[in-house]
Structure 1
Amino acid sequence: MNLVKLLGDGQRYMKTWPMVRQLGFYFPEYRVVKATQLAIIAMPVLALVVASSQLYVFGWDYLPQALTMLLFFISLPVQGLLWLGWRASHPLPLSLFDWGNQLTSALTKMG
């Protein structure tokens, strides 16, 4: 599967997943979406802080290590989007499909 398409699917899946706290007991998507949303905001800043502080403390001799740390922190939200994209391409099992429809109608009634 195309990596860019998988990232796009993950982004769309993240936007369409209902952020209802009670779903976190049944599906891991709630926790992954929350973590990915936080990582998209925080990880680029944290990556720059870690890389620049490492260069400041240890000097330019540690540039490869600083770049490795920078890439690691940048990759965390990408990993979340890839996982969500992978989950978006796999439908629910039929046993959960009926339960999901009932839950959707109950949540719609609740507002």
Structure 2
Amino acid sequence: MSTLPSGSVSWYKIFQRGQNYMKAWPAEKSLAPMFPEHRVVRATRFGVRFMPAVAVFTLTWQIALGGQLGPAVATAIFACSLPMQGLWWLGKRSITPLPPSLLTCFHEVRQKLNEAGQSLAPVEGVPTYQMLVEVLKRAFKLLDKAFLDDL
């Protein structure tokens, strides 16, 4: 399991952590009411896929029609920044320590995995959202969906 980084994290590492967090997030609709990550991950994936094309289309359209280049460049930069904002938020969220309410849920899910015979590495440092995601993903894979009802 990953631990909370010591010191400050570079902006590039935050984007990498955001991508890792986005990939690790379980795509379970039952988590949507509890966590905003479900919506942020979907919006970020959409933005990564389509916003570069929107930016190129905007620039091409304005150049072809002889329009003003300034607003077109601003729109293209804005379109490209949307998925980056999502990755930044996810990266920051992944290294955020869990609040007390989620900390108890984290330990309960870990306990259920231990009771199911799964060996888990001991928690090092303060549990983060990245650790929670890894535990939830493993729980969805190995346990039945009823474990969420108890939380």
**Which residue number corresponds to residue 132 of structure 2?**
none
**Which residue number corresponds to residue 110 of structure 1?**
144
Deviation for aligned residue 1:75: 0.5
**Which residue number corresponds to residue 18 of structure 2?**
10
Whole-angstrom CA distance in 1 between matches of 2:11 and 2:58: 27
Structure 2: state its 5+ residue gaps: 1-8, 110-135, 146-151
The sequence identity of aligned pairs, in percent, is 38
- The size of the alignment, in residue pairs, is 109
**Which residue number corresponds to residue 75 of structure 1?**
81
Deviation for aligned residue 1:90: 0.2
Q: CA RMSD in A?
A: 1.9
Give CA deviations for 1:19-55 in whole Å, capped at 9, x if unaligned: 1111010000011001101110010111111221122
Structure 1: state its 5+ residue gaps: none
Whole-angstrom CA distance in 2 between matches of 1:27 and 1:75: 23
**Which residue number corresponds to residue 33 of structure 2?**
25
Runs of 4+ in structure 1 over 6 Å off: none
Give CA deviations for 1:64-91 in whole Å, capped at 9, x if unaligned: 2211111110111000000000101102
Whole-angstrom CA distance in 2 between matches of 1:15 and 1:102: 24
Aligned with 2:95 (options 89, 92, 99): 89
Matches within 5 A, 1:31-50: 31-50=39-58
Q: TM-score with structure 2 length normalisation?
A: 0.65
Deviation for aligned residue 1:18: 1.0
- The structure richer in helix per residue is 1
Q: TM-score with structure 1 length normalisation?
A: 0.86
